[in-house]
């Protein structure tokens, strides 16, 4: 019962991720695209955790979600630094 | 029986509330007029939405090691997402990104002169 509800909620989150991807495609400035990609990263972390509950293999999926959150943070900080300085070194 | 039922109900309510916050954040991302206002909407969706949904997942799992890891993800997202948004907003402000509301205030001032 709870697993079915979690599956429905993660499908809805995937649809919301596609809506965010629309903003990433049409966004008038590069900052809009970065914000949209950041939101998609957060939604992917949440969907991975919920998939771990649905498939009853929390070990694997939760570790993947943790690493994905780390990589998304590093990417956003790198792009912010590129905006500020115009270079990455 | 009853304790497990209460726990599952709390998990379902928490996950649904998180989905509501994600929907509101995505609506703001699509509809708001400006980069800074869009960022404001998406940070709400990051903290409240992800926090509530991951808390619901941790409730539904019961007490395992994976529960501790899920709460670790929540703490990590609550630390890193405001940091990343602050860095990005600071860089955008320094690079002089156009702001919709600020420009309309300027136009009002010029009309009143």
Note the ipTM here: 0.87
**SS3 of residue B64 by DSSP:** coil
User: Rounded to the nearest 10 degrees, what angle do helices A2-26 and A30-55 cross at?
Assistant: 160
CB contacts, 8 Å: A73 with chain B: 80-81, 83-84
Which residue in A has a C-alpha nearest to residue B79's C-alpha? A73
Q: What does the pLDDT profile of chain B (113 residues) look like in tens digits?
A: 677 888 889 999 999 999 999 999 999 999 888 888 888 888 888 888 999 999 999 888 878 888 888 889 999 999 998 898 888 888 888 777 767 655 555 555 555 54
Reported pTM:
0.86
Q: Do B26 and A35 touch (CB under 8 A)?
A: no
Instruction: For A16-42, give the DSSP string.
Output: HHHHHHHHHHH-SSHHHHHHHHHHHHH
Give the nearest partner residue to A46 out of B42, B53, B81, using CB atoms: B53
Residues of chain A with pLDDT under 70: 58, 89
- State the best of A19, A25, A58 to mutate against chain B, taking most chain B CBs within 10 Å: A58
**SS3 of residue A2 by DSSP:** helix
Q: Do A46 and B35 touch (CB under 8 A)?
A: no
Give the nearest partner residue to B91 out of A9, A12, A80, using CB atoms: A80
Give the nearest partner residue to B88 out of A9, A13, A76, using CB atoms: A76
pLDDT tens sequence across A24-48: 998 788 888 888 999 999 999 999 9
């Amino acid at each position: 019962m709870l697993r079915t509800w979690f599956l429905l909620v993660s499908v809805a989150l995937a649809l919301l991720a596609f809506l965010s991807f629309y903003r990433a495609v049409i966004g008038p400035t590069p900052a809009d695209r970065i914000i949209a990609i950041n939101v998609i990263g957060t939604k992917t972390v949440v969907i991975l955790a919920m998939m771990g509950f649905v498939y009853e293999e929390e070990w694997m999926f939760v570790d993947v979600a943790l690493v994905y959150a780390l990589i998304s943070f590093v990417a956003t900080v790198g792009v912010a630094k590129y905006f500020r300085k115009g270079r990455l070194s | 029986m009853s304790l497990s039922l209460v726990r599952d109900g709390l998990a379902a309510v928490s996950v649904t509330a998180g989905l509501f916050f994600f929907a509101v954040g995505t609506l703001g991302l699509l509809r708001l007029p400006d980069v800074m206002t869009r960022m404001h909407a998406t940070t709400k969706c990051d903290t409240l939405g992800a926090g509530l949904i991951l808390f619901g997942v941790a409730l539904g799992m019961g007490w395992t090691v994976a529960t501790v890891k899920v709460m670790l993800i929540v703490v990590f997202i609550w630390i890193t997402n405001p940091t990343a948004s602050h860095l990005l907003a600071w860089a955008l402000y320094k690079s002089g990104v156009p702001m919709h509301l600020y420009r309309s205030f300027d136009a009002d001032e010029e009309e009143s002169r």
